Structure 1
Amino acid sequence: MATQRLKWLLLIGMALIWGSSFILIKKGLLGLDPYQLGSLRIVCASLFMLIVGFRSLPKIPAGKWKFLAMTAMLGIFIPAYLFAIAETRIGSSIAGVLNALTPLNALILGGVFFGLSFQRLQVMGVTIGFIGSLMLVFTGQDMQTTTHFGHVVLIFIATVCYGLNVNIIKKYLSDMDSLTIATGNSAVLLLPSLAILTANGFFGVVHLPVVQQASLFVLLLGVFGTGVANLLFFRLIHLSSTVFATSVAYLIPIVAFFWGLLDKEFLSPMQFVGACVVLVGVWLSGKK
């Protein structure tokens, strides 16, 4: 019972953090280009994790580093840039909803490539949750937002990366604690992201007020949206199934739309119905 409560607390905590990430990306893009934003996000997250968990690095077996590098690229590096690029043309609320494709991809990839089994009830939960997510976006004001197919595809690719990431962690890194995984990811990513940040001219414009303000949003995004959230995510993967862990993507749109409400974007009655459908899907996908 205690484990079950912890699973739900972790899920809700991640939803609150990740659901706020899209508005932070939007604010960060006001002063940074997508590559500066993605790189700065990773640098901030990596520095935070290395400060918190540097003592865990010597514990990592040599044979695990290749899997840590894979999860670092798929779970952090590639999506950080894809979402930043996508949000130059797609609203933060729509990006949050499209992120709900993650559990579906995790389920399909896990069954096809990783030999993981899943039950009919879990498939039903994933499907219901995804339908609820579609209701959230296609019955509200965001229908008026112009979307660009190529940028939608970028988010889809990011969710495929997330789906591969969670399956790799579950299959090859389940014997490692969440702090060690997150710190190992940070050790892999710090220098490449710092090199891209430098090459893209960030340090030449960091003195500008608009860049400094945007960087503060990205600092929050990196420390909480990547560093803290990944710690919670890795812990949840160890405690539950990949389907339940990635079902956080169904709660993320609710948080994203809440931020929109604070920004005077009002939800339609059908969107509230969609939110309830999302919660039903999460509940079903987490059942054994």
Structure 2
Amino acid sequence: MNWQESPYAKINRKEKAVISKNKQANILLLAVALIWGSTFVLVQNAILFLEPLQFNGIRFLIAFLFLLLWLLLFHRHLLKELKTSTVVAGAVLGFCLFIGYAFQTIGLLYTTSSKAGFITGLSVVLVPLFLFLFFKQKLSVNSTIGIAFATAGLYAITVGSTMSLNAGDGFVLICAVGFAMQIVLTSTYSSKHSALLLTIMQIFTVSVLSFIGSFLFEEWNGLNVFRLVQADVLLALVVTSIFATALAFVIQTSLQKYTSAATVALIFSTEPVFAAVTAYFFAGERLTVSAFVGCLLILFGMIATELPQQKFRPLLKQKT
């Protein structure tokens, strides 16, 4: 007797395959968040030898060349989609990224990796606030709760010793604004242009602006080969340019279709946690009680902002 697989068995097999891909995607995206979180300590060590903007210029130049090679080898057909509007959009996004990475790197000269990681994470909370201010999109309940948590967290971090933001915290706060604006504008441009082309233009813009800023504002005597071959510098450049920039983008864009946007945002909200953990083990950083509480509040705010609003409805119904 010929046995044929039932339709239900086929459906179950497909569901298992989807679940498997979802788990694999989430694990790899978590690895991306780990890489991003670990770069704070690496960059902090590297800028002891290189000027901050000079480091960023080299980092993003390497990432640009890597992604350009990737484009030519595997996605050459996308070159037909390259238009002036794509270049302009990429340049605008690149300027926001430049603000983010420049002020983050400079801030690491004056503040700790742990605090920098959590303050940078404020960009997740700032996105709905900027959408409300600039595009009149109504703030959801969870966004409002997230902003309240994050504001309280930032206050707790900054009052730990000096009752005010120090220079490094202030620079990193500007960095969070830059990253938030980049996320807001990406939602406008991404539907009109190739994601890979946009990213390549962004990275190229960051590299160019970083080198220009380095020439104008930093001590520049050319690239010091002896500084470049320092172990801390080489490690930071490899991890940040190839893994944290180029490959992280490829992983995100290729795997995000297997999971939800809310899940991705929640996974990426672990980045400052990884920053604090790596700073604890590899840089010997210890947070004050107030700073630790502030970091937790910011983390709660980030998670609250990205949770689906349905999660808060049972709580609201109980109060009413």
> How high is the TM-score relative to the length of structure 2?
0.70
Instruction: Determine whether 1:73 maps to 2:95.
Output: yes
Residue 268 and residue 132 in structure 1: after superposition, are their counterparts in 2 closer, same or farther (change >3 A)?
Answer: same
Aligned length: 282
Residue 112 and residue 277 in structure 1: after superposition, are their counterparts in 2 closer, same or farther (change >3 A)?
Answer: closer
Residue 126 of structure 2, aligned match among 97, 100, 105: 105
- Supply the distance in 1 between the matched residues of 2:88 and 2:228 (Cα, whole angstroms): 40
- State percent identity of aligned pairs: 19
**RMSD of aligned Cα (Å):** 4.0
State the partner residue of 1:185.
Answer: 202
State the partner residue of 2:245.
Answer: 226
SS at match of 1:207: helix
Structure 1 residue 67: Cα displacement: 1.5
Residue 5 and residue 175 in structure 1: after superposition, are their counterparts in 2 closer, same or farther (change >3 A)?
Answer: farther
State the partner residue of 2:180.
Answer: 163
Residue 82 and residue 61 in structure 1: after superposition, are their counterparts in 2 closer, same or farther (change >3 A)?
Answer: same
Residue 117 and residue 178 in structure 1: after superposition, are their counterparts in 2 closer, same or farther (change >3 A)?
Answer: farther
Residue 158 and residue 235 in structure 1: after superposition, are their counterparts in 2 closer, same or farther (change >3 A)?
Answer: farther
- Supply the distance in 2 between the matched residues of 1:273 and 1:152 (Cα, whole angstroms): 13
Residue 102 and residue 25 in structure 1: after superposition, are their counterparts in 2 closer, same or farther (change >3 A)?
Answer: same
Q: Which amino acid aligns with 1:184?
A: M
State the partner residue of 2:61.
Answer: 43
Is the Cα contact below 8 Å between 2:126 and 2:180 reproduced in 1?
yes
Q: Which stretch has the larger CA shift, 82-91 or 260-269?
A: 260-269
Residue 259 and residue 146 in structure 1: after superposition, are their counterparts in 2 closer, same or farther (change >3 A)?
Answer: farther
> Which runs of no fewer than 5 residues in structure 1 stay unpaired?
none
Q: Which amino acid aligns with 1:72?
A: G
Instruction: Determine whether 1:154 maps to 2:171.
Output: yes
Is the Cα contact below 8 Å between 1:25 and 1:84 reproduced in 2?
yes
- Supply the distance in 2 between the matched residues of 1:240 and 1:60 (Cα, whole angstroms): 29
Instruction: Determine whether 1:83 maps to 2:83.
Output: no
State the partner residue of 1:63.
Answer: 85
State the partner residue of 2:48.
Answer: 30
State the partner residue of 1:287.
Answer: 308
State the partner residue of 1:114.
Answer: 135
> Which runs of no fewer than 5 residues in structure 2 stay unpaired?
1-17, 310-320
> How high is the TM-score relative to the length of structure 1?
0.76
- Supply the distance in 2 between the matched residues of 1:207 and 1:19 (Cα, whole angstroms): 27
Q: Which amino acid aligns with 1:154?
A: F
- Supply the distance in 1 between the matched residues of 2:131 and 2:25 (Cα, whole angstroms): 21
Structure 1 residue 109: Cα displacement: 0.8
Structure of larger gyration radius = 2
Structure 1 residue 207: Cα displacement: 2.9
Counterparts of 1:8-27 in structure 2 under 5 Å? 8-9=26-27, 12-27=30-45
Residue 98 and residue 61 in structure 1: after superposition, are their counterparts in 2 closer, same or farther (change >3 A)?
Answer: same
Q: Which stretch has the larger CA shift, 1-10 or 49-58?
A: 1-10
- Supply the distance in 1 between the matched residues of 2:246 and 2:296 (Cα, whole angstroms): 27
